[in-house]
Amino acid sequence: MATSSTTIHIRGAGPTGSLAAIALASKGFSVVLSDPLSREELLNRSRAYAITHSSRRLLTKLNLWNVLLKDLIPFHSLDLSDSASGGRVLFGLSDLNGANRRAEAIGWILDHLPLMELLLNHLQRSDSVDLLLGSAAPQPKSNDLIVAADGPRSTSRSQWGIRCWTFRYRQGCLTSKVALRGVQPGMAYEMFRSEGPLAILPLGEGVFQVVWSAPWGQCQRRADLATTQFLDELATVLPAGIEPDLLLDSPRAFPQHWSLARRLSRGRGVLLGEAGHRCHPVGGQGLNLCWRDVTTLMNLAKRGGISERLARCYGQNRWTDLLMVGLATDLLVRLFSNQQPWLLPFRRVGLEAMARNAWLRRISLRAMTDGPTQLLKPLAD
Ligand SMILES: Cc1cc2nc3c(=O)[nH]c(=O)nc-3n(C[C@H](O)[C@H](O)[C@H](O)COP(=O)(O)OP(=O)(O)OC[C@H]3O[C@@H](n4cnc5c(N)ncnc54)[C@H](O)[C@@H]3O)c2cc1C
């Protein structure tokens, strides 16, 4: 267990570092959480996250789920379609595993602001956490654990000499908040289009987060369009019957990478969240994968306390999940972001098989929402 002389230093108070601080403090550890950004800068990001059942389980364990419920927008159906082959699968609550079905949603969409407000307020009240925002990370002692949650450009990772396998997609991603007409209540969409996947995620009261992947040049061009032109162009790619009404923020384009650190620990340091890995946003896996890092670190620390062995075990434990999700998202993007005539019949037959076979839908939904490594394990709740 924790001793008064050992501290966990978490670098980075993004959604991963902040949740890790709460999780480790809840197990009795003394935590120092630092970030060069101020509270306002940490709150001020226009993003919304798709939340899966693996994240629900962690937030429930940390007594945060019920507090967040008012800000979580559930979706009960997921419409997955392939515009080039015409294949379509509709996932519903009955495709969830029994334990997940009790939560009465396939997933949830959560805006960045209420999430970060909750996490930072919780941290400010905690006696076990020293929250240092807008300042450099303090020097740790030799027996402290260092958790680098300092994002994709992690300086800790570079200092520890850890290199990454990286692949830059030709596709980028454009995110934006839009008021839409014609969407059925409780519905989320993932459409495979030849230029890249398009996700439409409900944020409540007719507002949606659009995650629009396309070649990088197209994303940049669309981000610079005037509002009416942007909405006109969006209207041409939305599912039939859905129309855009209003643009509610400035669309932002960002490049897409797959990357995985060649190791997730060095001595008493571990890489957490996007400091260790990134994947394509298709399927909304990113933040959930980061938070499964938090679950693993919390469980290992609870059992064995802080040691170099903990850091090593953490790295070994996370490898399979990160690799499988990274490969699965990459495969989806490669398979569906084209109009190769020889591929279209396979895509159509695959999606038709899934539309007809409940077992296939359950397995794929379970892998997406709990992680592929949990497929053969009973669920905790
Ligand atoms: C432009 C953009 C838009 C996105 N939009 C979406 C979206 O709409 N939906 C979605 O699901 N995902 C989105 N993502 C991805 C999502 O933001 C990440 O999955 C998530 O932020 C990862 O959380 P993290 O805490 O690991 O990293 P980050 O959120 O990057 O946090 C890292 C933190 O570390 C801090 N830091 C950096 N260096 C140091 C240091 N030396 N010491 C201490 N702290 C340091 C940074 O200031 C930052 O606060 C987007 C990403 C980007 C870049």
Supply the DSSP symbol for 337: S
d(CA 236, CA 209): 17
The CATH number covering residue 270 comes to 3.50.50.60
Nearest-CA residue for ligand 1 atom 16 is 287
Q: Print the domain residue range for 330.
A: 8-165+257-374
Mutate to test the pocket of ligand 1, among 39, 150, 216 (most ligand atoms within 8 A of CB): 150
Burial of 201 (0-12, 13-18, 19+ CB in 10 A): buried
For the chain, the average pLDDT equals 94
For residue 151, report the distance from its CA to the centre of ligand 1, in Å.
Answer: 5
Measured from the Cβ of residue 179, the count of other Cβ atoms closer than 10 Å reads 16
- Classify 171 as helix, strand or coil: strand
* pLDDT at 2 (0 to 100): 45
For 233, phi and psi rounded to 5 degrees?
Answer: -70, -40
Residue 177 belongs to some domain of the structure: no
Question: Average pLDDT for residues 192-205, to the nearest whole number?
Answer: 96
Ligand 1 pocket residue status of 107, Cβ below 6 Å: no
d(CA 90, CA 357): 11
Atom of ligand 1 nearest to the CA of 49: 11
Q: How many CA atoms lie within 13 A of 372 on its CB side?
A: 13
pLDDT in tens, 8-25: 999 999 999 999 999 999
CA 135-138-139 angle, 5° bins: 155
pLDDT in tens, 115-167: 999 999 999 999 999 999 998 888 898 889 999 999 999 999 999 999 999 99
d(CA 367, CA 359): 12
For residue 257, report the distance from its CA to the centre of ligand 1, in Å.
Answer: 14
Mutate to test the pocket of ligand 1, among 274, 277, 368 (most ligand atoms within 8 A of CB): 274
Residues 6+ apart with CB under 8 A from 153: none
Residue 215 belongs to some domain of the structure: no
* pLDDT at 305 (0 to 100): 72
Q: Are 30 and 6 in contact (CB under 8 A)?
A: yes
d(CA 77, CA 357): 16
For residue 344, report the distance from its CA to the centre of ligand 1, in Å.
Answer: 36
Residue 184 belongs to some domain of the structure: no
Ligand 1 pocket residue status of 294, Cβ below 6 Å: no
Measured from the Cβ of residue 218, the count of other Cβ atoms closer than 10 Å reads 18
Atom of ligand 1 nearest to the CA of 16: 25
pLDDT in tens, 209-256: 999 999 999 999 999 999 999 999 999 999 999 999 999 999 999 999
Ligand 1 pocket residue status of 126, Cβ below 6 Å: no
* pLDDT at 94 (0 to 100): 96
pLDDT in tens, 253-279: 999 999 999 999 999 999 999 999 999
Ligand 1 pocket residue status of 196, Cβ below 6 Å: no
Q: Are 240 and 193 in contact (CB under 8 A)?
A: no
Atom of ligand 1 nearest to the CA of 17: 25
d(CA 47, CA 341): 36
For residue 361, report the distance from its CA to the centre of ligand 1, in Å.
Answer: 31
Cα-to-chain-centroid distance, residue 128: 27
Q: Are 179 and 244 in contact (CB under 8 A)?
A: yes
Q: Are 156 and 148 in contact (CB under 8 A)?
A: yes
Written as six digits, the tokens of 238 are 């939305």
Measured from the Cβ of residue 12, the count of other Cβ atoms closer than 10 Å reads 29
Atom of ligand 1 nearest to the CA of 154: 38
Residue 129 belongs to some domain of the structure: yes
Ligand 1 pocket residue status of 172, Cβ below 6 Å: no
Name the one residue in this structure whose structure tokens are 């903990």.
310
Nearest-CA residue for ligand 1 atom 1 is 254
Ligand 1 pocket residue status of 34, Cβ below 6 Å: yes
Nearest-CA residue for ligand 1 atom 5 is 47
Please count the structural domains in the chain: 1
The DSSP line for 52-82 is -HHHHHHHHHTT-HHHHGGGEEEESEEEEEE
Q: Are 34 and 9 in contact (CB under 8 A)?
A: yes
Q: Are 236 and 224 in contact (CB under 8 A)?
A: no
Atom of ligand 1 nearest to the CA of 286: 19
Nearest-CA residue for ligand 1 atom 37 is 150
Nearest-CA residue for ligand 1 atom 38 is 150
pTM > 0.85: yes
d(CA 380, CA 332): 29
User: At 278, which helix (H) or strand (E)?
Assistant: strand 277-278
With residues binned 3-state (H G I as helix, E B as strand, rest as coil), the percentages for the chain, rounded to 5, are 40, 30, 30
| Residue 4 predicted with pLDDT over 80 | no
Ligand 1 pocket residue status of 37, Cβ below 6 Å: yes
Q: Give 165's strand partners.
A: 260
Residue 196 belongs to some domain of the structure: no
d(CA 104, CA 77): 11
- b or e along 119-142 (b: 16 or more beta carbons within 10 Å of the residue's beta carbon)? bbebbeebebbbbbbeeebeebee
Ligand 1 pocket residue status of 252, Cβ below 6 Å: yes
